[in-house]
Structure 1
Amino acid sequence: MSQPWMYPTFLLCVYGFFSSMRPLEPFLTAYLLGPDKNLTETQVVNEMYPVWTYSYLALLFPVFLATDYLRYKPIIILQGASFVVTYFMLVQTQGMPAMQVLEFFYGVATATEVAYYSYIYSVVESDQYQRVTGYCRSITLVGSSVGSLLGQVLVSAADVPLHYLGIGMLVSSALAFIAPWFLPVASRSLFFHDSKCGPPAQEVVGKVAGAPTESLGKEKVDEHECKKLLQQECPEVVTKVPEAGGESVSVFGVLRMLWGDFVHCYSSPTMLAWSVWWALSTCGYLQVVNYTQALWEKVLPSQEFMIYNGYVETVSTLLGALAAFAVSFVKISWASWGELALCCFSVVIAVVMYLMDTIQNIWVCYTCYIIFRATYMLLITIATYQIAAALSMRRYALVFGVNTFVALLLQTILTLIVVDTAGLGLDIFTQFLIYASYFAAIAVIFLVAGLYKVVARYGKASSSPSDSSQTESDSAGGSLTLRDTELTQVVEDKLQPQS
């Protein structure tokens, strides 16, 4: 029998697959520098690519609010249209001004990505979240891998001109653009269009005082009981959503709500540490991914030699996905050793960036890039879980949005100083030396933070060994009362009207 979640999930998967299938992407820099566009390296690296960074940053926050206010579907359609415009201009237009406009539209497409990944939570029940999230994220990975592999096979085996890969990418985006028009309109959203009881019920389910329900042990709160309690006790509030659109929370009310959630989330040292790493590393990751093809083009010009960028992108994507999957089987106390683990992996990234820059051999570059992407995907998966495990759905969206915004702000500053001709406008090899130093600096930051945590933990343990038995006794006698108090407080918070 058909399930309600299957129809929107299928449409999202169709959209995600075709919008992610980009056979020209591994060869984009070679295409721009080749006879089709005939641009110079300085134009592509220092004048064209930075426009994407600036537009992405400028659009991220207003698109975030617009996505929630318009209930996702219009923004997904806008993303699909932006992809079509981007790839049409890539195939048909010439000259640097047109390429900069193209980068702006690509910035619109990437800024609106939040709608794709958050829409599904507004149209399916919470017990299907894990399944539909896996489907939507996996299909984009499959689409990206298929596109990279297809592009490489066509170039190396059939000697297809890059221009035709661009046409294929345009056709794929046009097919993707059809699917979101048939998506059902979301009846609720996280901020502007809450359910009758204020915030969605799933914000309370599974979260007590900012901790996962798994930490409650035998006193684990039952989802249905929690929902029933909310339905019985919640008063009428302004933020209810009638069938055909009704009253919404004001922008001021949403901003005030966001600020309160922001202060609450980032007051946690653990949350702050993972978020800092998220922002710093994502900034460096985006820079490396954006400009690595320019480095490869200098090491081995595509006009003179056969290049294998498509295979590298495919292998790095699949290996990164495998690493992200394998981390679920690793038994490490990330709360205790997370900072030192982040330090060690940041050192690995810094080393491979340095080797890629200094050895200047294409096979070394390819290998280092694969290690770099796999390592980043592994760590970002850990960071995602560590952050999401302690947050409600609304705060999840806020924290991830803030972390991405900070990453883009740092990337903009780095781009403006290092890459843009308005700044230093450095050559590509000097840029990658700076990126290697950047990740080395991240490693130092988390080395200091990790050592401080270890010293503080062992110092505390050695100074109060006699208190442990009393603490355990108090905990055993009072844990249930404390958890009941925490649950009551959370329910009371959720029942407050949102103005």
Structure 2
Amino acid sequence: MSVLYPTLLLCVYGFFSNMRPAEPFLTAFLMGPDKNLTEIQVVSEIYPIWTYSYLMLLFPVFLATDYLCYKPVLVVQATSLVVTYIMLLKAQGLLAMQFLEFFFGLATASEVAYYSYIYSVVEPEHYQRVTSYCRSIALFGSAAGSLMGQLLLSVAKAELLYLVIVTLTSAAAAFVAPWFLPMPKRSLFFHQSPGAAKEETGDEESKVPLKIHNVKTVSTPSEAETSSGLVKVLQMLFEDFVQCYRCRPLLAWSLWWALATCGYFQVINYTQALWENIRPSKDHEIFNGYVEALSTLLGALAALLVGYLPVCWAVWGELALCVLSLLMATCVFIMDTLSNIWLCYSSYVIFRAIYMLLITVATFQIAANLNMQRYALVFGVNTFMALVLQTLLTVVVVDSAGLGLDVFTQFLIYGGYFVVISSIFLLAGLLRLASSRRSKTEVEWSEPNSPSVSDSTPCR
């Protein structure tokens, strides 16, 4: 029962907070008669605020989440979502929509509380199961919201404004759940129970990133419990950061994570503007909801299939990242150049499915032998680096203060960006195979010719 109650409440919260029927049609709504904003305002002046807010808030919210023991930050996230959709429903003008994006950035940064709360109230043996429940229900809520929005638009012939009202209602329903969650008594860094810390130290002191056994164990939870001060926590995080990223496999997967997530965010953030240019919603019926629902479900299916793929990721990981990143680049180029809405929709679905598959592999490869403390740190750093790159890309390419390029030119750049990612991992994969082959050759050459104690003949 102690596991069931918080898991059930988290699933209710995850479902309703992600069920957003208006989200696939946000660009059409902002550019329609209800808000009457121009494409340049939406793409170059409103949407970039989300990226900047997310980057600015991510690290403070990460620390606050642990210090406040998760639940208050979940309440903040729920409140931010309600404020976001009230503003979307009632507010008018460019400045109001920029504030809306700030609150949505706060809600996005606070997602760390949703995915880490459960680890503070259930025992480690339940981690895998409750994590799968929470992630699955969030994806299902997102797909259900997209499908509901499309059905309301296409079948019920509802106006886009009513989709915003339904989304606000869903956010209001989600707002109730966090208040009834039990308050955790421990957290990863600031608040640790002595018994749990000792037990975790004993369990994890032999664990190092990705089974690289020549990396010494670094700061353990017991060091953090001697002081709840911010300085001690930051020092421990920095030491763990340096130690973890000395591991080459972890560094490689983290590099792909940061680079690809940056490009992925840019594509999904601005793809509605691309669709709007190819098939304007004021002249044609649009099917964004079906596309978002299908891409979410296929992405979830791809993530589930990872466990059944007969691939040795330790050997072929870089080359797989190269080939699939190149396929993602191809999808973006098709979306940008062919100007056919059905090809654009199809390419978007494939693009998201590939990303979901690879990010699941990256998650598993990174987390396979990390303790929970390092798990949170590495994933947080990877997301932060992705946002730094995304901010730079947004400032230069999207923002009106930079180049302020049109959406077709933007997607041409995003396609080239994934080609660069593919090239990086092609080089890394070839170097790994060459190194592996050279090591194997050296072993085969030295073993039959290894001199014995009585043999003084040198090896050739």
TM-score using structure 1 length: 0.86
Residues 391-411 of structure 1: per-residue CA shift (max 9 Å, x gap): 110000000000000000000
The answer to whether structure 1 residue 100 and structure 2 residue 79 are counterparts is no
> CA 1:38 to 1:299, structure 2 compared with 1: closer, same or farther past 3 Å?
same
- Does residue 239 of the first structure (1) align with residue 221 of the second (2)? no
1:198–1:237: 8 Å Cα contact kept in structure 2? no
**1:306 maps to 2:285:** yes
CA contact (8 A) 2:210 2:367 kept: no
3-state DSSP of counterpart to 1:464: helix
The offset of 1:249, in angstroms, is 1.4
2:253 is aligned with what amino acid? W
* Change in 2 beyond 3 A, CA 1:456/1:428: same
Contact kept in structure 1, 2:198 and 2:222, CA below 8 Å: no
What do residues 111-141 of structure 1 show as CA deviations (whole Å, max 9, x unaligned)? 0100000000000001111111011111101
| Residue of structure 2 in register with 1:10 after alignment | 8
Question: 2:454: which partner in 1?
Answer: none
Structure 2 residues without counterparts, runs of 5 or longer: 214-219, 451-460
CA distance in 2, matches of 1:207, 1:435: 42
Residues 248-273 of structure 1: per-residue CA shift (max 9 Å, x gap):
51100001100110011000010000
Residues 237 and 153 of structure 1: CA distance in aligned 2, closer, same or farther (over 3 Å): closer
- Shift in alpha-carbon separation, 1:235–1:206, aligned structure 2, 3 A: closer
- The one-letter code matched in structure 2 to 1:144 is S
Change (3 A) 1:375 1:194: same
Kept in 2: contact 1:56–1:110 (CA 8 A) = yes
Equivalent residues of 1:340, 1:446 under 8 A apart: yes
Percent of aligned positions that are identical: 60
Q: What amino acid does structure 1 have at the position aligned with 2:51?
A: T
Change (3 A) 1:468 1:51: farther
Residue 55 of structure 1 corresponds to 53
Is contact 1:190–1:199 with CA below 8 Å preserved after alignment?
Answer: no
Cα distance in 2, alignment partners of residues 20 and 14 from structure 1:
10
CA contact (8 A) 1:202 1:393 kept: no
Is the 8 Å Cα contact of residues 283 and 407 (structure 1) preserved in structure 2?
Answer: yes
Quick one: structure 1 residues 125 and 145, their matched pair in 2 at CA, closer, same or farther if it must change by over 3 Å?
A: same
269, 274, 295: which is aligned to 1:295? Answer: 274
Q: Does 1:182 align with 2:187?
A: no
Aligned to 1:496: none
Q: Distance in 1 between matches of 2:205 and 2:316?
A: 24
- Does the aligned pair in 2 maintain the 1:285–1:376 contact within 8 Å? yes
Taking the aligned partners of 2:34 and 2:378, their CA distance within structure 1 comes to 42
1:422 equivalenced with 2:408 (yes/no): no
Equivalent AA in structure 1 for residue 320 of structure 2: A
Against the structure 1 CA distance between its residues 373 and 236, is the aligned structure 2 distance closer, same or farther, given a 3 Å change threshold?
closer
Deviation at 1:390, TM superposition (A): 1.9
Q: Is the 8 A contact 2:77 2:107 kept in 1?
A: yes
Residue in 1 aligned with 2:453?
none
Cα distance in structure 1, aligned partners of 2:404 and 2:325: 26
CA–CA distance in structure 1, aligned partners of residues 448 and 202 of structure 2: 33
Q: Is 1:43 matched up with 2:41?
A: yes
Sort the Cα spacing of 1:429 and 1:462 in 2 relative to 1 into closer, same or farther, 3 A.
same
Deviation at 1:327, TM superposition (A): 1.2
CA distance in 2, matches of 1:121, 1:399: 16
> Which of 264, 267, 274 does residue 246 from structure 2 map onto?
267
Q: CA deviation at 1:333?
A: 1.1
SS at match of 1:208: coil
Structure 1 residue 209 displacement after superposition:
3.7
Counterpart amino acid of 1:322?
A: L
TM-score (norm 2): 0.93
- Give the whole-Å Cα distance in 2 for the aligned partners of 1:168 and 1:197: 46
Secondary structure at the counterpart of residue 34 of structure 2 = coil
- The DSSP-based 3-state class of the residue aligned with 2:203 is coil
Distance in 1 between the 2:266 and 2:8 partners?
Answer: 33
What is aligned with 1:245? none
Distance 1:458 1:5, change over 3 A: same
Equivalent residue letter for 1:364? L
Which of the numbers 340, 344, 362 marks the counterpart of 2:341?
A: 362
Q: Is 1:448 the counterpart of 2:427 in the alignment?
A: yes
- CA offsets 1:190-248 (integer angstroms, 9 cap, x no match): 000112057473465367241679x99xxxxxxxxxxxxxxxxx9998828xxxxxxx5
In the superposition, relative to structure 1, how do residues 262 and 305 fare at CA in structure 2: closer, same or farther (>3 Å)? same
Q: Equivalent residue for 1:320?
A: 299
Residues 5 and 90 of structure 1: is their aligned pair in 2 closer, same or farther, counting only changes over 3 Å?
same
Runs of at least 5 residues in structure 1 that lack an aligned partner in the other structure: 217-233, 241-247, 472-499
Alignment counterpart, residue 407 of structure 1, candidates 377, 386, 402 = 386
* Aligned partners of 1:51 and 1:103 also within 8 Å: yes
State the alpha-carbon separation in 1 of the partners of residues 437 and 365 from structure 2: 23
CA contact (8 A) 2:57 2:109 kept: yes
What pairs up with 1:324-335 in 2 under 5 angstroms? 324-335=303-314
User: What is the SS of the residue equivalent to 1:390?
Assistant: coil
What residue in structure 2 maps to residue 83 of structure 1?
81
Residues in 2 aligned to 1:393 and 1:175: alpha-carbon distance in whole angstroms: 31
The answer to whether the 8 Å contact 1:194/1:200 transfers is: no
Matching residue's letter, 1:239: E
Contact 1:87 1:170 in 2 (8 A): yes
Distance, in Å, in 1 between the alignment partners of 2:225 and 2:208 is 23
Matches within 5 A, 1:104-143: 104-143=102-141
Deviation sequence 1:449-478 (CA, Å, 0-9, x none): 00000001101110122666999xxxxxxx
CA distance in 2 between counterparts of 1:433 and 1:205 reads 49
**1:379 pairs with 2:377:** no
| Equivalent position of 1:219 in the other structure | none
The residue aligned with 2:26 is 28
Give yes or no for contact 2:12–2:177 (8 Å, CA) kept in 1.
yes
Alignment counterpart, residue 330 of structure 2, candidates 329, 340, 351: 351
Work out the CA distance in 2 between the residues paired with 1:298 and 1:237: 56
Aligned to 2:190: 192
Q: Distance in 2 between matches of 1:210 and 1:238?
A: 18
1:400 partner amino acid: F
- Alpha-carbon contact 1:126-1:202 (below 8 Å) kept: no
Give the Cα–Cα distance (whole angstroms) in 2 for the partners of residues 433 and 204 of structure 1.
Answer: 51
Residue of structure 2 equivalent to 1:148: 146
SS, match of residue 20 in structure 2: coil
Name the CA distance, whole Å, in 2 between partners of 1:468 and 1:80. Answer: 64
Q: How far is the alpha carbon of 1:151 from its aligned partner?
A: 0.5
Does structure 1 residue 284 correspond to structure 2 residue 263?
A: yes
Contact 1:198 1:239 in 2 (8 A): no
* RMSD of equivalent CA atoms: 2.1
Amino acid at match of 1:62: P
